Amino acid sequence: MSSKGSSEAWQNPDLTIERASPAFDVEEMTNFIDGGQDKTQVKRKNLAQFSSVASTGSKILNHPSLRDTKATAYMSHEDKYNYNLARATAVLELISEEGMDVNEISKVLSHTVAGFTTPDGNPIAVHQVMFIPTLMNQADDEQMFRWLGDVYNGRIIGTYAQTELSHGTFVRGLRTTATYDPASRTFDLHTPDVSAAKWWPGGLGTSANFAVVMAQLHTGGQARGIHPFMVELRDIDTHRPLPGITVGEIGPKLGQNTLNNGYLLFDHVKVPLNNMLMRNARVHEDGSYTKPPHSKLSYGTMVFTRVAIALDTVDALQIGCTIAARYSVVRRQGEPLADGREPQIIDYQTQQLKVLPQLASCYVLRAAANRLWESHTHVTSEVRGGDMAQLPELHATACCLKALVTRDCSAAIEALRLACGGHGYMESSRFPALYAYATAGVTYEGENTVLLLQTARYLVKQVGGGAAPTPGSSVAYLSRPADDTPFSVGSVAAYVAAFSRVARGRVAEVAARLRADRQRLGEAAAWNESLVLLVETALAHCRFFVVSTFVEVVAAESTSRAIEQVLQLVCRLYVAYFVSRSEGDFITYGGLTASDVRLNRDRLLGLLTELRPHLVPLTDAFDLPDQLVRSTLGAWDGDVYRRMFDEASHSPLNSTEVPRAFHQSIQPMRARL
């Protein structure tokens, strides 16, 4: 399956010209983005199972719940939920029959971005992306044997219940309690008041019958901290809530309204001893307690989820860039040129500044997210073998990258929407849904400010004495002599050095300030006095991480000279753009002069011109079929205006020439006036 989707018969002539003579092999670029030709092939095979270009023999396409796609914009909330749940459960039902790899297909199944299976959000996404990984990583072998069979045959549909109405990112502050009673060998699970109600878990509303519940463990008269418990919420056969459990859906949100987010309260619910997940910590029958080997092990699901959020939010930005790129080429507006035609809006410098830096971000952030995923896989393996040494760094990097990616991507998607003018405001453009998806990531699974402060705390520790970071770690630059490479707008290495100096300078400054303030204010007050600087420090560190990672990835890959050259151009645009956004930092810490800053501004504008011819090939390389893009503005063929008009015809208000409301409201008003 190619990114052309089902629109190969005709395409807008302007797009034909853009695609006629790319300066690089688009297929090779796709392989670079995916991490290799083999991964591209697996991705296409899996995606084809869900698209209209799949073979007519596909069990998935011929499943009654998946055969026909419907426009959900005009459905009621309940009908949208029913439609998306039917599609989500059909997909889960058929995975094993089709022999697909669950890890590879999870993007299609679990996330709003992978849109043609569950266009308004998958009601059981959390079952797959949080519930199952939690069991795999925190249940012991006996528990996995006991539960996983029912998980995979659909008798258990789970969610992950951590966040409460009054507590989110501050996990230690959760107030749901699990008090162990040795006499009955059960935990008493209790919600002390409504502010401690679980709030937000996806699928909890009306879909899940089990949950991994994070609660404060009390045993032997002592508080033991937050631990996970496998709790049945609804009867497996009748789906009715069990005694002592209050559960429901929280209601409409900015977007993703069929994720089925819910609330949950416990009234002294008894949970068996062996339902506490005990791979890391353990409560024994007599109430004695064995603590986990590392305090962060219980947060493993959150680290995994933050890595996944970074990857999936870049997916959303790729879709947004594809839409804006194609629309900007097709859209013509302004005084006619010498050939009598109005100019393409992409040839306006202002439009290039709206679109091209966001495209560069797709490539740079994708490389960093892929690197973090590889690190997560490696560290998880080490942890299973008892080596916890790299866990703190993984946690710190996952925190800041999730924060930076969601922050950048939500802003970038909004910039791309604006680049499409008024048409970007249409739901059919896809931008409202993309923005709702990306901006949700700023606050869920760890609010970004709090996550950045966790990274900052780790950074301050690195310069506070003790063992030096290991070579190759993301913080190794803090223990090396400063990179004094002279700045030059023609050198990527000079930009990388400047980003490292900014991060290094930020860390050193805030660490020194904290040391001084602790003497007069104490720890808590000193930390609070530096919160803004600490957040900026973590962002500077993470920006250096993504820049240096992209440079390393490009250098390490065996690509053609043409691919290397355009990736270097992408990198130059990215670094020049973000220097222009933080000029004060680069003068204060990065060693740039006022003259350097002016040269960078000029270089940025020049790079827009240089990257402009590569816009469509670079977005085509994302290899996104029309069924995934799902936009009237961003289809492969560029037939924007026909698609917009056709989409408008679906409005129920257009089904009759005279709506009922005319007779119900306008005519009576006339009679009364």
- Which residues participate in catalysis according to the annotation? 445
Q: What is the DSSP letter of 164?
A: B
Contact present, 104 and 373 (Cβ < 8 Å): no
What is the C-alpha separation between 491 and 498, in angstroms, rounded?
Answer: 11
CA distances (Å), origin 30, targets 355, 620, 627: 20, 8, 18
Residue for token pair 């409301």: 661
What is the C-alpha separation between 653 and 657, in angstroms, rounded?
Answer: 8
User: Which amino acid type is present at position 241?
Assistant: P
Question: Which of 358, 327, 331 lies closest to 343 in space, CA to CA?
Answer: 331
Question: Which of 646, 639, 641, 644 lies closest to 6 in space, CA to CA?
Answer: 639
First to last CA, the chain: 62
Contact present, 569 and 359 (Cβ < 8 Å): no
What is the C-alpha separation between 5 and 2, in angstroms, rounded?
Answer: 6
What is the C-alpha separation between 463 and 511, in angstroms, rounded?
Answer: 7
What is the C-alpha separation between 395 and 306, in angstroms, rounded?
Answer: 9
Token pair belonging to 566: 């355009």
- The H or E element that residue 568 is part of is helix 561-581
User: Which amino acid type is present at position 499?
Assistant: F
Q: How far is CA 133 from the centre of its chain?
A: 17
What is the C-alpha separation between 106 and 373, in angstroms, rounded?
Answer: 15
Number of helices and strands in the chain (H, E): 24, 11
Q: What is the DSSP letter of 13?
A: H
Question: Which of 207, 50, 201 lies closest to 115 in space, CA to CA?
Answer: 50
Contact present, 10 and 637 (Cβ < 8 Å): yes
Contacts of 439 (CB under 8 A, 6+ apart): 254, 406, 410
Please write down the HEC assignment for all residues of 25-81.
CHHHHHHHHHCCHHHHHHHHHHHHCCCCCCCCCCCCCCCCCCCCCCCCCCCCHHHHH
Q: How far is CA 336 from the centre of its chain?
A: 42
What is the C-alpha separation between 157 and 204, in angstroms, rounded?
Answer: 10
